[in-house]
Amino acid sequence: MTSRDDLGDVDRHASPEDALAELHVHVEGTLEPELMLELAERNHVTLPHGDVDYLLSGHEFSGLQSFLDLYYANMEVLRTAEDFSDLARGYLARAARAGITHAEFFFDPQAHVVRGVPLEDVVEGLSDAVAVSRREFGVDAAMIASIVRDHPVPDAHAMFGELMRLQAPIVALGLDSAEVGYPPSLFEDVFARARAEGLHITVHAGEEGPPEYVWQALDLLGAERIDHGIRSLEDPALVERLVEEQIPLTTCPLSNVRLHVVESLSVHPLHRMLDAGLAVTINSDDPAYFGGYVDDVFAALHDELGLTEEERKLLARNSIRAAFT
Ligand code: ADE
Ligand code: ZN
């Protein structure tokens, strides 16, 4: 297992023109059907949704919760450190093919601990993949532990204490899962602990939740990045603040379409966000579920939203600037 210090030694790739970071991807959301089936067999786990056709058919989600129900159910196949290593390596290999040179991926410790998987095994498997990533895939990688916000607050504290005890090589603490009804304010104390440990802070806010949650993420949790943040556009004073402080918004356009945050890609407010001067980055969120990896997202933005080459370069520069490591 690497120590947190090992992650400091990151260089940028030869040409800055080619550098591209992915900053908002849940490693559990990169669990492709093929690997899911392989792990189910390896671990003698019956898939919650048994047939391959179901897994491969692509899903209609009615919103974030309907996606999360499937996302958490499918995690059942992830049992050992080796499984987590295979998962992360699969993502990093695919990210390299998407042109990613730097990846900071989330994982959901509580979602595994509640199933009886030791946190140590999760961290060991993921960090093993991170340790070989530059050499094997040409991708500098880092891990972000994320609090599952619809679990009890004391569980978040316990999980964080355990991560610190294990000296888990994480670069940041995040906050994800079902947003509405679980405001950032609930987690002020855990994030204060994370800041005191020198960790970076990034918070899912303004995906389904109101702009008020984005304000709370900034003011109460000390968020340096906002994950999604698309509903910030409803509050001009918030947009002004985000522009002024150049707080990165890690947007995920394909996710927004699949989870009905926007009606279709052709009406996604990406141009409006860029024109306002917001520090937007492009990400895949849960690529196994939402129709593709970052290269697919850029291709769709080009085809359906008329994303220009100049905008693509700006988004790539934003991603590098917004990286924590
Ligand atoms: N966990 C995985 N994907 C997520 C998303 N889009 N929003 C909140 N939590 C998540
Ligand atoms: Zn997310």
How far is residue 96's CA from residue 74's CA, in Å, rounded to a whole number? 25
Distance 187 CA to ligand 1 centre (A): 17
Q: What residues are neighbours of ligand 2 (ion), with CB under 5 Å?
A: 285
C-alpha angle with apex 124: 119 to 127, nearest 5 degrees? 120
Q: Give distance in angstroms: CA of 151 to centre of ligand 1.
A: 14
Instruction: List pLDDT tens digits, range 30-64.
Output: 999 999 999 999 999 988 776 665 665 577 899 99
pTM of the full predicted structure? 0.94
- List 124, 207, 208, 224, catalytic entry: 207
Domains of the chain, by residue range, sit at: 20-322
Ligand nearest to the CA of 65: 1
Tell me if 204 CB under 6 Å of ligand 1. Answer: yes
Whether 207 is a known active-site residue: answer: yes
Give pLDDT tens digits for 54-106.
Answer: 665 577 899 999 999 999 999 999 999 999 999 999 999 999 999 999 999 99
Is the minimum distance from the CB of 176 to ligand 1 under 6 angstroms? yes
Which of 3.50.50.60, 3.30.2270.10, 3.20.20.140, 1.10.8.100 is the CATH number of 20-322? 3.20.20.140
Hey, which bits of the chain come out as E strands? 21-26, 102-107, 140-148, 170-176, 200-205, 225-228, 248-251, 279-282
Tens digit of pLDDT for each residue in 183-240?
999 999 999 999 999 999 999 999 999 999 999 999 999 999 999 999 999 999 999 9
**What's the chain's average pLDDT?**
94
Q: Is the CB of 151 under 6 A from ligand 1?
A: no
